[in-house]
Chain A
Amino acid sequence: MSEQFAVITGAGSGLGRALATALCARGIAVAGLGRRADALQDTATLAGEKFTPIVADVSDPQEVAAAFAHIRAIAPVSILINNAAVYPHRDILDETGESFMQTVATNLGGTVACSREALKDMTVAGRGRIINVSSFADLSPLPCSAAYSVSKGAVTIFSRALVADLGDRLPNIVVSTWMPGMLNTSMGLAEGLDPAVAAQWGAALALWDDPTLNGAVFEMNREILPSRGLKGRIKDVVRFKRRVPRQIAP
């Protein structure tokens, strides 16, 4: 395979920083998007010279377009990890329409805008890898997480919609959804997992070159198989297909 070039959003902190560091350590050039130049600089110090910091707010499509124009001048994008997210703990009675949609703009809008930009390169190459970092927050939203839960649920759906639009035409553009688990980051919990551990899975998943990962969902290092109705289960039996969840080899 030709030279890889990865874009990671939200690279100035937490999981994004850890992912950038992990991918650079594996010899992959990474462009990291973040809102704060100083935070990105700290990531650059950790990740080394393979890291290019790019200041951009992913909630603004124009900033995203400008950032990718800058990135494209270096090399075409072959890997995109949509990691940037905000999680304002806010009661729905304290949300306004605007504040709610600001969260959606970052978590969902950023994912859509960055994917569209990365696809400009990937559709020319006929190959690419998109990892959408998501969560199970949508299944049973916690109190004070309406905007986060809704936007993360939408990110999971967006992965499926990308596969519906592109999976048949460009099967080597491979989209997977990844739920990294509860992390010990500013957005997560103190007793959560070290993001450096999760980042090893994320980096390995991003470099895993297999078109059958298109549409796959992983939680931490293990594949979550889509649930099947009775009809689907019968079909599997008739077609002698047994589904076994895969595991990320770090």
Chain B
Amino acid sequence: MSEARVTLSEAVARDWDVIVIGTGIGGGTVGRHLAEQGLSVLFVERGPAGVRAEEHALNPTLWGEEARLVRGYWPKPLHATVNGVSTTFHAPLGAGVGGSSVFYAAALERPAPHDLDSSDDIPHPTGGWPVTYAEMDPYFAKAEALYRVCGDRDPLGPDKDLPDGPKMTPSDQALFDEMTAIGLHPYKGHLALRHLKDKAVYLGRKCPNGSKMDGRSAGVEPALETGNAALLDRCMVTEIDHTGEDVTGVRVSSREGTARLTARAYVLAAGALHSPRVLMASGGLGNGADLVGRNLMFHLNEMLALWPKRAARAEGASKALAFRDLYLQNGARFGMVQALGVEAQYGEVVHYLNMAFDRSRLRRQKWLRQFTRIPAALAVKLFGSAKVFVGILEDLPYAQNRVTFDPNDPDRLAITYDMAPELLQRRKAFRAALKRRLKGVRMAFVSAAPELNFGHPCGTLRFGDDPQTSVLDRNCKLHGVENLWVVDASFMPTSMGVNPSLTIAANALRVGEKIAIRLHNREDGDV
């Protein structure tokens, strides 16, 4: 990767076809597509390229901005005011080549048609996405091929056959049989993995051997291999210069100093928390309808432990199983259930309990906080043989849930979010449905309180046909701006009942096609 890295002064000296801000699933995928179309692409990434052999996971307990940044973690904490309670913590956000995706567990699941489309039977809460499932379908297939998605066909879903995934462990097989016996429809979850036969699998951590497909291995690295793309790492975009109709450059800051970079087209892919922040730092670009940063959604994580009857202890985590029997129940939007894929370890459980403590009524009694260690140790013992699953409960858009911006501290990452009564009601129904449908399998809910999945932010620059109700048009170009597109999870009008990654990748390919056509047409026009 080093040959394709450029310094700030080298980046300034060139006039690029496209500047891509951020290198996660969205930025990596669109940059690869554009580079493969022969366009010159500059990736601007806040974090470092890193060392390819690294294999660490996210670590929310590590403080110190430089220590976080060299590991590819977002350096600054998130200030979250949730239901009126403010906490400050490190969200599961990456800052490095591949963005947050280098730390993900590679679940690339298709949404269901009703996640996008509205029908008489299943009305969509926003009236439907501007692009239908049928229009997205070829891009889902392309993204699945690009990311080498493997696994079983969902017996309840519309997806096509995929290559076979990793072999199930004996306890996964036991659980699979138990679930089938009680009438559920489990399947091997969809994972972005290649070289299954001869390489170790790294889920939930950086993959040193290139087998996990993420924004780095499926996006930036193949883009750089075309020879048409370059990487400017450890460089922060501070502001987008524009005339109102045209973006004229991006202002950046790195260890080399500050500079202005220019291109014919710009793609913002900094993630659903950062992209609106960058727009707000740019004189309210795209904010004519006061929608930038609004309609922030996360999923609610409903974690449950399942103990297979024929348990094999200490097999390690696996992400094999998923089921969608409760995806939509009597018109209520729940979501899919999948193996967590990350082992519950002592340090993570302590952190998780400390976070819960900080939101609890006990939070002013700081000395009590250290006692979270005891239940944590017990939990690790207790859940040792269990498989931890997570139900992904869809979140719906509310304008008051939003990324906030402080002009005096534009780098500050902050959100306010209130759990809607409707969401809490739906969560109750989801838990009841889970309990009912899993009768016969030994199970326990891991948490009592609702848990936001801070790794799945979306919706903050929603796309739509009406500039009064959306920030982006149907091609994810800013309404009224000629040359700025957004391809991260910001564009989603609703959060769906699945992990966002496949949809981000598919949409990035769709938008990439539009950008390439636009730039090639202009080239012809010039001649």
Interface string of B374-399 (1 = CB under 8 A from A): 10010011000000000000000000
In the complex, chain A residues whose CB is within 8 Å of the CB of B52: 124, 126
The segment out of A48-56, A103-111, A167-175 that lies at the interface is A167-175
**B56 x A168 contact (CB < 8 A):** yes
Please give the distance in Å from B523's CB to the nearest CB on chain A.
40
Q: Is A69 an interface residue (CB 8 A)?
A: no
Select one of A123, A238, A240 contacting B51, CB under 8 A: A123
**B374 x A170 contact (CB < 8 A):** no
Q: Is B373 an interface residue (CB 8 A)?
A: yes
In the complex, chain A residues whose CB is within 8 Å of the CB of B59: 168
**B55 x A171 contact (CB < 8 A):** yes
In the complex, chain A residues whose CB is within 8 Å of the CB of B377: 235, 238-239
In the complex, chain A residues whose CB is within 8 Å of the CB of B418: none
Q: Can you give 15 A-B contacts (C-beta < 8 A)?
A: A123-B51, A124-B52, A126-B52, A126-B53, A126-B208, A127-B53, A169-B51, A169-B54, A169-B206, A170-B51, A170-B54, A235-B377, A238-B373, A238-B374, A239-B380
In the complex, chain A residues whose CB is within 8 Å of the CB of B454: none
Q: Is A125 an interface residue (CB 8 A)?
A: yes
In the complex, chain B residues whose CB is within 8 Å of the CB of A235: 373, 377
In the complex, chain B residues whose CB is within 8 Å of the CB of A125: 53
Please give the distance in Å from B52's CB to the nearest CB on chain A.
8
Interface residues of B (CB under 8 A from A): 51-56, 59, 71, 206, 208, 346, 373-374, 377, 380-381
Other 12 A-B pairs with CB < 8 A, given A169-B206, A170-B51: A123-B51, A123-B53, A124-B53, A168-B56, A170-B53, A170-B55, A171-B55, A235-B373, A238-B373, A239-B346, A239-B380, A240-B381
**A169 x B56 contact (CB < 8 A):** yes
Please give the distance in Å from A173's CB to the nearest CB on chain B.
9
Which A205-245 residues have C-beta < 8 A from chain B? Answer: 235, 238-240
Interface residues on A, range: 10 to 19
Please give the distance in Å from A87's CB to the nearest CB on chain B.
35
Please give the distance in Å from A45's CB to the nearest CB on chain B.
38
Which A163-183 residues have C-beta < 8 A from chain B? Answer: 168-171
**A169 x B71 contact (CB < 8 A):** yes
Q: Give the secondary structure class of A's interface.
A: loop
In the complex, chain B residues whose CB is within 8 Å of the CB of A239: 346, 377, 380
Interface residues of A (CB under 8 A from B): 123-127, 168-171, 235, 238-240
**B71 x A168 contact (CB < 8 A):** yes
Question: Complex: how many Å from CA A171 to CA B380?
Answer: 23
Residue in chain A with minimal CB distance to B53: A126
Please give the distance in Å from A214's CB to the nearest CB on chain B.
13
Question: Complex: how many Å from CA A200 to CA B208?
Answer: 34
**B55 x A169 contact (CB < 8 A):** yes
In the complex, chain B residues whose CB is within 8 Å of the CB of A123: 51, 53
Residue in chain B with minimal CB distance to A240: B381
Question: Complex: how many Å from CA A235 to CA B350?
Answer: 12
Question: Complex: how many Å from CA A123 to CA B54?
Answer: 8
Please give the distance in Å from B159's CB to the nearest CB on chain A.
35
In the complex, chain B residues whose CB is within 8 Å of the CB of A168: 56, 59, 71
Question: Complex: how many Å from CA A45 to CA B346?
Answer: 53
Please give the distance in Å from A18's CB to the nearest CB on chain B.
32
Question: Complex: how many Å from CA A199 to CA B376?
Answer: 44
Question: Complex: how many Å from CA A239 to CA B345?
Answer: 12
Q: 6 nearest interchain CB pairs?
A: A126-B53, A169-B54, A168-B56, A238-B377, A169-B56, A123-B51
Residue in chain B with minimal CB distance to A119: B51
In the complex, chain B residues whose CB is within 8 Å of the CB of A124: 52-53
Question: Complex: how many Å from CA A125 to CA B380?
Answer: 33
In the complex, chain B residues whose CB is within 8 Å of the CB of A126: 52-55, 208
In the complex, chain B residues whose CB is within 8 Å of the CB of A240: 381
Question: Complex: how many Å from CA A218 to CA B259?
Answer: 51
Residue in chain B with minimal CB distance to A168: B56
Question: Complex: how many Å from CA A170 to CA B206?
Answer: 11
Question: Complex: how many Å from CA A73 to CA B140?
Answer: 48
Please give the distance in Å from B167's CB to the nearest CB on chain A.
25
Question: Complex: how many Å from CA A170 to CA B53?
Answer: 7
In the complex, chain A residues whose CB is within 8 Å of the CB of B54: 126, 169-170
Residue in chain A with minimal CB distance to B381: A240
In the complex, chain A residues whose CB is within 8 Å of the CB of B51: 123, 169-170
Please give the distance in Å from A115's CB to the nearest CB on chain B.
15
Question: Complex: how many Å from CA A126 to CA B346?
Answer: 26
The residue among B59, B206, B377 with the most chain A CB atoms within 10 A of its own CB is: B377
Question: Complex: how many Å from CA A108 to CA B23?
Answer: 40
Please give the distance in Å from A158's CB to the nearest CB on chain B.
17
In the complex, chain B residues whose CB is within 8 Å of the CB of A171: 55
Question: Complex: how many Å from CA A247 to CA B462?
Answer: 61
In the complex, chain A residues whose CB is within 8 Å of the CB of B346: 239
Please give the distance in Å from A16's CB to the nearest CB on chain B.
29
The residue among A123, A125, A169, A171 with the most chain B CB atoms within 10 A of its own CB is: A169
